[in-house]
Amino acid sequence: MISYGKPSTRTSPSRRRCRDRPAPDKQDGDCYTVAMRYLVLIGLIVGGLLGYYVLWSHLADQVALRANAWIEGQRRQGRTVTYENQRLWGFPYRLSMTLTKASWADTPNPLGWHLEAEEITAHLQLWDLHHAIFDLPGRLTIGWRADGGDRQMTLTSQRFRASLVADGAGNWLRAAADLTKPQLSDAPAGAAATIWSAEKLLLHSRRTGNVPPSADLAVQLDGIMLPVAIDSPLGHQVQGLRLVGNARGSLFGRTPEEMLTSWRESGGVVDLSIMTLTWGEFYIDGSGSLALDRQFRPIGAMSGKLGGIETAADILVAAGTMSLQQGAAAKSLMAPQPVLRTEKGMAYQEGSLTAQDGMLSLGPVPLFSLPSVLPGH
């Protein structure tokens, strides 16, 4: 018969002796050894915590020195960098720096670019100081000089988070931005009408080469609302836009015209493996390439799924963007093509679009003219 007794409560002989002996007898060698073990363990824990704090403080000082060195470098180039307050925090998990009322101004530039942010916070992980995550709550104001006066726009969002990965030499490797409900207006306090808004904006870029410079790009916009002031025959609400591809070409200069010229002259081109647009009943899903001509107008071609061509042609003809003959030619070109449906049930036909000499064409049929991407050209 097996009997079950109480669990054993036996202790080691040394601990029993330390517990059972009278007080004067507890200072023997065994008791001293046990006490020293606990003291050593406590000392290691305390020392480890102090060492970690010293390491964190040292790295925080290095981050502050790098930030100040970058600010001084900008000032030596004639730019102005200011902030109201700087705070280092994040112990024990990360290194974080917050700048309040931060501003950057490139006064020598012909356009006089300047940026103002209510608050900028940069986060660094202790084990990867080359990967920074940025939080930009509040308003971000972008200003420049144009037409003999100062212009500015204000960007607000429910959430604005960005990240940057650099190598040991400070060259960027990857960059990304994630904005929830971004809104762009032309007044700091939002007094004027919103120019542009979206439900979601995602940007991703990865450096892929230096000669020639190239980068993989991905852009996604959901729930786009265009300005009411612009004439938009297809409506002011764009359901979604997604672009994925690779951009090649050098980009340098002090003004947008100089930068786009350098990019164009260096063979700048964007190859898009994914080009998706849903705008009302108009639908595009294909691949192609884009560049700029001498007048900074889009030039390129794409092929893939085209939906809502007949409806879009009627709308553009009614708005005067296309002639009646162009609309009829576009519809008759697509008529023989079989109508298919996407997984979501959207009807489409196979086709191609080209941009050349400032004109967008559906196959051989010219549709409407394309303006320059630079105002005034």
How far, in Å, CA of 376 to CA of 172, rounded?
33
Q: Is the pLDDT of residue 14 over 50?
A: no
pLDDT tens across 358-367, in order?
Answer: 999 999 999 9
What are the helix (H) ranges across 24-155? Answer: 29-76
pTM of the model: 0.83
Residue 152 makes CB contacts below 8 A (sequence gap 6+) with 141, 142, 143, 144, 186, 188
How much is the average pLDDT of 208-235? 90
User: What's phi and psi for 93, nearest 5 deg?
Assistant: -90, -25
Which conformational region is residue 73 in: left (phi greater than 0), alpha (psi within -120 to 50 degrees), or beta? alpha
DSSP annotation of 338: P
- Nearest Cα neighbor of 129 from 72, 61, 68 is 61
CB atoms within 10 A of CB 371: 12
CB atoms within 10 A of CB 275: 22
pLDDT tens across 143-174, in order?
Answer: 998 877 888 899 999 999 999 999 988 889 99
3-class DSSP state of 12: coil
Position 207 scores a pLDDT of 95
pLDDT tens across 38-73, in order?
Answer: 888 888 888 888 888 888 888 889 888 988 898 999
How far, in Å, CA of 151 to CA of 186, rounded?
8
How far, in Å, CA of 356 to CA of 341, rounded?
30
DSSP annotation of 7: P
The domains of the chain are located at: 13-77, 81-369
Residue 26 makes CB contacts below 8 A (sequence gap 6+) with 18
- Nearest Cα neighbor of 367 from 329, 335, 337, 336 is 329
DSSP annotation of 190: S
Helices 13-20/29-76 angle, 10° precision: 100
